Amino acid sequence: MTGLFSEVFLSALLFGAVTAAIPLLLAGLGEQMSEKAGVLNIGIEGMMLAGAYLGFVGAFYSGSLWLGFLTGAAGGMAVALVMALLCVRIGLNQIVIGIALTLGLEGLTALLHHFQFSRSYPRLPAPNPTVIPTLADIPVIGPAFFKHHLIVYLAVALVVAMGYLYRRTQLGLNLQAAGDKPAALDVAGIDVIRTRTIAVLSTGALAGLGGAYLANVGAGLFIPFITNGAGFLGIVLAMLARGRPVWVLFGALLFGVCLSLTTAMQVAGINIPTDVIQMLPFLAVMMMLVLFGRRASLPAALGIPYERGAR
Amino acid sequence: MSIDTAPTASATALDASSGVAARRDILRRVLMTIGPILAALVIAGCILLAVGVDPLAYYGYVLEKGLFSPLGIQQTLTRMAPLLFLAAGLIVAFRAGMWNLGGDGQFLLGAVTAAASAPFFVGIMPAWLALFCAFVVATLVAMIWSLVPALLRAYQGVNEIITTLMMTFLGTSLANVLVKLVFRDPGTTVPQTRTLPVEDRLPRLFDTTITSGLLFGLAAIVIVHLVMTRTAFGLKLRIVGANPRAAVHAGLGVPGLTIGVFAISAGLAGLAGAVDIIGVQGNVRADWNPAYGLAVIPAVFLARMNGFAAIGFVFLLSVLSIGGESAARRLGVPNHFTLVLVSIVLIVLALAEYVDHRYNQSRKA
């Protein structure tokens, strides 16, 4: 038990938490954008799977992790394109299409994996971390937070960029209006369909990137159903965050710590079913909702000024 | 002027031949269902061709096993039982405008409760009463599980999509914890609950292997359909679904109805789990999660929350899943292709409905 809380263990735990949090963060940020624009994107799990598969294929055959991220984002975007055509342009039911896309990509990626990789289960080489000088030398925190692949820092920077996008740019306001009062946006002379399409396609790219990170950096290989509900967690995070990118980050880290704790306990050989720990983040969030439900519903009403700004 | 006269003219024509029109309407609906399914099969067939599998052989096996072989059709009908209960629960929730996406968690908790309580009850009372008690306990547990999202939605206005999704993650883990730690059968090495002896399970229908749960499932969905469309209670729920604010002004106790809807919906999902365990599986293995809910949700939407149409879609899902399992095994394809097939069928059906709707609109205009 003494080894359990050693410095090495703690920094490995936190390192794992960040690695587990990044796909959730990207999915959550993506979903947030769709929801802001008024599209409930249940197909995000499918977009992540497409990104994970194509991201792995891209990285495996080209040998470049970055090309893998690119193909992954493109894969997520391709699925999002279907979603945008069916749900935004011709207005089919978002839940039906979203679930159908998720089911279809679960099947399709598992099928392709079976014919391509199931005999060899190839792995990617471990990614080269970008070590941030000085900061990485801090004990515990340094190796946990400042020795990641470059894309991790970019993902965190994206949180700031998204916050800027929503608060300070015309596009951000348009997105908000497309979700709050599309008719008003239309009257203002801005194409609601186009705004929502942009949002859904961005969601696809972010979810695909998240999936590619999960496969290429997190696991180093693609296995069927690798996302294992990460997309649905993204939906939960986006809804809990109430339109604020920074809350998606906090939420993703909370879930990341719990996911990392599950692996750490398996390694340490502690005899509790991992399911117990998997329940922790959900329990925490449900408790928060039960205790602060009323208070948490306040920001929803505070969303109105955005609508006025769009007018 | 022509706009004014056209509807009356067509109305009289409709009166004269309403029987013919009704029949034509049903025929059109059947065509609008079968046509898209055939189209979906063609698209999915192209994917099969692309991975080097003969689509005709695949579909042949699907039909043979899922529909035409005596044993296969019995398995298909048995598979329908839990799906019908799930669909019934979703119809209540969706018609009342509550997006209960937590069906899988409620299903699993109902299943684990039934699996744990049935062997216990069988030991102390006659078999029929024991099964009845197991069903009641499973329903109650699922109902209680839905209480948190229901209360949050009813009194705090917290979005139920997010709470039910989270409760389904929680429920899946909790079901596993219960199987592994609390109700684990000490007699086996694999973590699973005590197995209910075959003679104590729900009786089979006549001389077949079809579970009698099918009849309960059919009864449940028909009753739900009639309650929702023919009774005052159903009307109240539909008003809440159509416009909660108007419902408040109409003097309806919306919070109470919300909790009621969640309880009924979750209770039926719990029953689905119990029927699957007590009728078919006999025990719950750790990490068992068939995730039926994910396939039933879009089917219920496509059925436009109509109970009878939902029976048809559930039958289609069952044929595809039972037949697909067999075809995949025989042709050496992973079973995952069934997911692709179901997905394409759902998307093409949704598209067909849209095209049909547009066609009707343009004809009226």
For A247, the 3-state DSSP assignment is: helix
* Domain CATH code at residue A17: 1.10.3470
Task: Give a yes or no: residue B275 inside a domain.
Answer: yes
Whether B41 is covered by a domain: the verdict is: no
Residue from A47, A272, A275, A295 to probe the interface with B (highest B Cβ count within 10 Å): A275
Per-residue pLDDT of B80-96, as tens digits, reads 999 999 999 999 999 99
Average pLDDT in the B33-37 region? 85
- By CB atoms closer than 10 A (0-12, 13-18, 19+), residue A207 is buried
Q: Tell me the CA distances in angstroms from B281 to A86, A106, A250, B204, one per residue in order.
A: 39, 25, 42, 13
Residue B67, domain member (yes or no): no
B163 burial type by CB count under 10 A (0-12 exposed, 13-18 middle, 19+ buried)? buried
Percent of chain B with pLDDT over 90: 33
Res B314 pLDDT > 50:
yes
DSSP state of B193: B
- A259 CB near a chain B CB, below 8 Å? no
Tell me, what's the pLDDT at B262?
95
φ, ψ of residue B283 to 5 degrees: the values are: -155, 170
- Residue B1 included in any domain: no
Q: How confident is the model at residue B17 (pLDDT cuts 50, 70, 90)?
A: low
CA distances for A228 relative to A46, A232, B358, angstroms: 11, 9, 38
CB–CB of A282 and B169 under 8 A? Answer: yes
pLDDT of amino acid A311: 38
B331 to chain A, any CB pair closer than 8 A? The answer is: no
DSSP string over B204-241: BSTTSS-BTHHHHHHHHHHHHHHHHHHSHHHHHHHHHH
Residue A16 makes CB contacts below 8 A (sequence gap 6+) with: A256, A259, A260, A263, A264
Nearest to B148 among A93, A106, A290 (CB): A290
Residue A224 has pLDDT above 60, yes or no: yes
Segments of chain A assigned E as strands:
130-131, 147-148
Give the B window 38-77 contacts with A, CB below 8 Å. Answer: 47, 51
| CA distance linking residue A107 with residue A115, whole number of Å | 13
Give me the phi and psi of B262, to 5 degrees please.
-60, -40
Q: What are the tokens at A254?
A: 């909370």
Residue of A nearest to B301 (CA): A96
- Tell me the three state secondary structure of residue B192: strand
CA distance A118 to A111: 10
Backbone angles phi, psi at A102, to 5 degrees: -60, -50
Query: Could you say which residues from 200 to 239 on chain A have a Cβ atom under 8 Å away from some Cβ of chain B?
Result: 224, 229, 232-233, 235-236, 239
Confidence check: pLDDT of A36 > 80: yes
Question: Cα distance from B19 to chain A (closest Cα, Å)?
Answer: 32
Q: Which residues of A touch B162 (CB under 8 A)?
A: 235-236, 239-240
What's the pLDDT tens digit per position in A188-212? 888 888 888 999 999 999 999 999 9
Mean pLDDT of the B295-308 span = 87
Residue position matching structure tokens 């949700």? B297
Query: Among A306, A88, A309, which residue's Cα sits nearest to residue A195?
Result: A88
Higher pLDDT, A132 or B305: B305
The answer to whether residue B180 is domain-embedded is yes
Which of A45, A86, A108, A111 to mutate to probe the B interface, most B CBs <10 Å?
A111
What CATH number did the domain enclosing B149 receive?
1.10.3470
Contact partners, residue B117, CB within 8 Å, separation at least 6: B133, B134, B137, B138
What DSSP line would sit under A106-155, residue for residue? HHHHHHHHHHHTTTT---PPPPPPEEPTTGGGSTTHHHHHSEE-HHHHHH
Comparing alpha-carbon positions, the chain B residue that sits nearest to A82 is: B347
**Structural domain span for residue B258:** 81-323
Q: What is the mean pLDDT of residues B296-304?
A: 86
B227 to chain A, minimum CA–CA distance in Å?
25
What's the domain range around A69? 2-310
Question: CB of A104 within 8 Å of any CB in chain B?
Answer: yes
Residue A304: predicted pLDDT: 27
Q: How far apart are CA A205 and CA A75, in angstroms?
A: 8
Amino acid at B115: A
Q: Which of B162, B173, B344 sits opposite A279 (nearest CB)?
A: B173
- Other C-beta atoms lying within 10 Å of the C-beta of residue B243: 12
The answer to the question of residue B190 being in a domain is yes
Q: What percent of chain A has pLDDT over 70?
A: 92
Residue with tokens 């009356």: B8
Task: Determine which of B53, B100, B109, B165 to mutate to test the interface with A (most A C-beta atoms within 10 Å).
Answer: B165
CA dihedral (B53, B59, B65, B67) in degrees, to 10, reads 170
**Mean pLDDT across A46-74:** 93
Q: Which residue in A103, A242, A287 has the most chain B C-beta atoms within 10 A of its own C-beta, making it the best mutation to test that interface? A: A103
Per-residue pLDDT of B148-189, as tens digits, reads 999 988 888 787 887 898 899 899 999 989 988 888 888 887
Angle at the Cα of A16 from the Cα atoms of A10 and A22, rounded to 5 degrees: 135
Round to whole Å and give the CA distance between B14 and B10.
6
Residues in chain B: 365
The total of structural domains in chain B comes to: 1
Least confident of A153-157, A190-194, B20-24, B88-92: B20-24
Q: How far, in Å, CA of A213 to CA of A56, rounded?
A: 9
Question: Is B271 a domain residue?
Answer: yes
Domain count, chain A: 1
Q: Are A139 and A7 in contact (CB under 8 A)?
A: yes
